[in-house]
């Protein structure tokens, strides 16, 4: 890494550092933003290097060096990190925009929630607002819309009479071809397949075509397709942990009606997970939505403080899941709890097998009380509770997502030449993952948002929601 010279800052306070740097602004190439006295977190190794200076020009980190060396920098803005920890911007690798055209505005006001919580990129895993989301993606990339970088699947591929809104329904191989032609025209970032009504033979065909076209795939795997076969066919990522758990039961004796807990075999699972790692198939566990839904029977979310950021139309979509859970018997409730605890406890097997784990919330329309922005921090906490280390959880929300999307040369790490999306934290996330919640400031494409600005963004969303027709008086 090329170093730059810096004025000695030993013994200087923040004001003294800024003044000393300002005295040398006549030298060298100017930068837009200079962060000083930072503890930079290496997302590859977990190493923390104190006393670093991060120089940013536009959307790029142009240098990272030692505070005791740094000169020849003319900075338009200097931020004193004062020993705080700095990480790359966080990525939510499974969320949803949706709810129909009448909820476009309610979805759009969610964008600041992501930035305010340090989430600088999201992967939209399909909904019914595809054309709008694609337009937002391009507007954010151009800099004409404030929000996280958006990656989207566009409309997902399903079978005839799918229960999900916005799907492209296919019944034949020709239908699959037509759907993929359309997705290529839309320049989607990946293809999403699900298992509601999609025939197993069309799922197989679609995976083959996606691979042949050099597109990326993500999926819910139909019951008629073994998980190992989907991996062998080139599936890029499995969405939701339950499918990987199901794979640990395939090929083992299973009584009729028995759940996967009784037939799960660790040796079978590890063999599958190692095969996933070998073939490059990632997993997005989405623990947050699974746990939230499993405990709807005993956890009352109707007074959640975060509901002030969720529009009335989006809140109304929560009722679908709530009503489905309302009639559960005590036995069904106990089974949901046990299934969540069992499944989440197996996550370390995937990590130990080398599978790329992606942090994703499943936040968005339909998914009750799974909140955009803050939900990613909930997910990170659950990943650690399930047995990952804080570093592994942080990797799932930074470098792993960038790697899956082929963006690791610019994102997921803080090095010279990487994108200038980062989060300044009050605590050390390698020691305690909850530190990701304690955000001092965020840099998005080179623009610094301090705590006051982040709070103002949150207040603005709450104000917008309060003015929406149908919002409750709070």
DSSP codes of every residue in 342-402: HHHHTHHHHHHTTPPB-----BSTTSTT--TTHHHHHHHHHHHHTT--HHHHHHHTTHHHH
Domain shared by 336 and 240, yes or no: yes
**Cα distance between residue 261 and residue 341, in whole Å:** 10
CATH number of residue 185's parent domain: 3.20.20.140
Domain shared by 307 and 364, yes or no: yes
Domain shared by 146 and 157, yes or no: yes
* pLDDT for position 74: 85
Q: Are 198 and 158 in contact (CB under 8 A)?
A: yes
Residue 3: inside a domain: no
Radius of gyration of the chain measured on its C-alpha atoms: 23
The β-bridge relationship of strands 439-444 and 422-425 is antiparallel
Domain shared by 218 and 357, yes or no: yes
Encoded tokens for 91: 């990525």
Residues spanned by the domain of 444: 14-88+414-460
160: nearest Cα among 146, 172, 147: 172
Residue 382: inside a domain: yes
Instruction: Provide the domain count of the chain.
Output: 2
Domain shared by 368 and 224, yes or no: yes
**What is the pTM (predicted TM-score) of this model?**
0.92
Residue 473: inside a domain: no
340: nearest Cα among 375, 302, 377, 385: 385
* pLDDT for position 167: 95
User: Of 365, 384, 404, which residue is a domain's last?
Assistant: 404
Cα torsion 204, 405, 240, 367: sign: negative
Domain shared by 105 and 223, yes or no: yes
Domain shared by 210 and 174, yes or no: yes
Kindly list the averaged pLDDT for each block of 10 residues, start to end, along the chain of length 474.
31 38 49 95 97 96 80 86 96 97 97 98 96 98 97 97 94 98 98 97 98 98 97 98 96 68 94 98 98 93 96 94 86 94 98 98 95 98 98 98 97 97 98 98 97 98 93 61
**Cα distance between residue 353 and residue 351, in whole Å:** 5
* pLDDT for position 374: 98
CATH number of residue 39's parent domain: 2.30.40.10
Domain shared by 24 and 155, yes or no: no
Give the relative orientation of helices 173-186 and 200-212 as an angle to the nearest 10 degrees: 40
Domain shared by 73 and 120, yes or no: no
User: Of 386, 404, 422, which residue is a domain's last?
Assistant: 404
**Cα distance between residue 85 and residue 50, in whole Å:** 8
Domain shared by 419 and 271, yes or no: no
367: nearest Cα among 163, 13, 97: 97
Domain shared by 434 and 451, yes or no: yes
Residue 422: inside a domain: yes
């Amino acid at each position: 890494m090329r170093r730059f010279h810096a004025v000695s800052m030993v013994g200087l306070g923040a004001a003294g550092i800024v003044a000393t740097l300002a005295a040398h602004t006549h030298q060298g190439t100017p930068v837009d933003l200079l962060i000083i006295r930072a503890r930079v977190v290496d997302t590859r190794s977990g190493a923390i290097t104190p006393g670093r200076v991060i120089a940013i020009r536009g959307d790029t980190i142009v240098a990272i060096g030692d505070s005791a060396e740094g000169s020849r920098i003319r900075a338009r803005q200097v931020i004193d990190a004062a020993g705080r920890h700095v990480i790359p911007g966080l990525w939510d690798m499974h969320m949803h925009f949706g709810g129909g055209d009448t909820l476009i505005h309610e979805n759009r006001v969610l964008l600041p929630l992501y930035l305010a919580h340090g989430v600088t990129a999201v992967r939209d895993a399909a909904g019914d607002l595809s054309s709008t989301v694609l337009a937002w993606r391009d507007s954010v990339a151009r800099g004409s819309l404030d929000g996280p970088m958006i990656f989207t699947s566009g409309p997902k591929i399903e079978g005839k009479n799918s229960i999900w809104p916005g799907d492209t329904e296919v019944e034949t191989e020709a239908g699959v071809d037509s759907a993929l032609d359309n997705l290529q025209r839309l320049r989607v970032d990946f293809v999403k397949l699900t298992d509601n009504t999609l025939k197993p033979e069309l799922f197989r065909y679609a995976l083959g075509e996606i691979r042949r076209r050099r597109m990326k795939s993500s999926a819910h795997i139909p019951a008629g397709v073994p998980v190992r076969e989907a991996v062998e066919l080139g599936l890029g990522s499995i969405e939701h942990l339950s499918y990987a758990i199901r794979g640990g039961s395939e090929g083992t004796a299973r009584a009729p009606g028995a759940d996967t807990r009784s037939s799960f075999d660790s040796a079978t699972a590890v063999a599958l997970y190692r095969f996933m790692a070998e073939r490059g198939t990632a997993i997005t566990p989405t623990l947050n939505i699974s746990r939230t839904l499993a405990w709807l029977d005993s956890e009352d979310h109707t007074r959640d403080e975060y509901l002030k950021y969720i529009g009335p139309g989006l809140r109304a979509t929560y009722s679908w899941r709530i009503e489905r859970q309302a009639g559960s018997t005590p036995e069904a409730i106990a089974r949901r709890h046990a299934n969540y605890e069992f499944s989440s406890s197996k996550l370390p097997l995937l990590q130990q097998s080398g599978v790329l784990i992606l942090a994703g919330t499943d936040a968005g329309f339909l998914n009750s009380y799974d909140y955009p922005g803050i939900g990613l921090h909930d997910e990170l906490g659950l990943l650690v509770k399930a047995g990952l280390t804080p570093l592994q959880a942080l990797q799932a929300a930074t470098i792993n997502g960038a790697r899956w999307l082929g963006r690791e040369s610019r994102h997921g790490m803080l090095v010279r030449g990487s994108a200038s999306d980062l989060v300044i934290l009050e605590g050390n996330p390698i020691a305690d993952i909850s530190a990701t919640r304690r955000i001092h400031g965020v840099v998005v494409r080179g623009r610094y948002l301090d705590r006051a600005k982040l709070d103002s963004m949150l207040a603005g969303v709450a104000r917008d929601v309060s003015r929406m027709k149908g919002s409750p008086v709070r």
